[in-house]
Amino acid sequence: MGETTDGGLYEIFQQDFGPVGSPRFEAARENFLISSAGYAVASLLLQPKDRHNGNLLFDNGGRLVHIDFGFILETSPGGNLRFESAHFKLSHEMTQLLDPSGMMKRDTWHQFVILCVKGYLAARRNMDGIINTVLLMLDRGLPCFSRGNTIGNLRKRFHPEMRDREAANFMIRACTDAYNKWTTAGYDLIQYLQQGIEK
């Protein structure tokens, strides 16, 4: 998408869906918000890395779609140098759609955080089923299972020791931490400089 306009995601949505406030734009923003919240929870738990802009797509309704899961659960490019330190990707471009004020005060930002909290609490209630699904891949020879305690670390990300209120607060902090995190911007810049992938 970066090749179709000189602007960022906010401008691209206006170009494709109409002006801010129009029904098509707001419907696309809502689709983006909901899909971003779902991916935020999934990313926190499964830790896909290499989340540069070439691995993030949008459908014709504005929904976020992640692709390329070559680095997941304990692996990342560059030998785990921890370039992508946020729990999930929430770049400046993405936050412009969620919160044009840039101050985490818009209703759309609060709606995003609420959906993330609800999704995380729902995932926690299904922790055993999710972990058992990941366990089915254990003997497939995937790099993510070749070092460390992948399953134990996955379980820790559910924070089973926490009560729901504590887990909700954890997810709120994760959203705040991911908001325009400098390491996310830095990783996008590296990808742009090395690979020509649009920021």
Q: What is the pLDDT of residues 65-102, one digit of tens each?
A: 888 777 788 777 665 555 666 788 887 788 888 887 66
What pTM was computed for the model?
0.83
Task: Answer yes or no: is 3 within a domain.
Answer: no
What is the tally of structural domains in the chain? 1
Residue 161 clears pLDDT 90, i.e. is over it: yes
Task: Answer yes or no: is 4 within a domain.
Answer: no
Q: Which domain holds residue 50?
A: 9-195
Beta-strand runs (E) in the chain: 56-58, 64-66
- CATH classification of the domain holding 166: 1.10.1070.11
**Averaged pLDDT for residues 167-172:** 96
Q: Find, among 81, 82, 57, the residue nearest to 2 by Cα.
A: 57
Task: Answer yes or no: is 14 within a domain.
Answer: yes
How high does pLDDT run on average in the chain?
82
pLDDT of residue 1: 44
Given pLDDT bands bounded at 50, 70 and 90, which one contains residue 199? very low
For the chain, the first-to-last Cα distance in angstroms comes to 10
Residue 178 clears pLDDT 80, i.e. is over it: yes
CA distances from 69 to 50, 55, 56, 193, 198 (A): 8, 9, 11, 22, 19
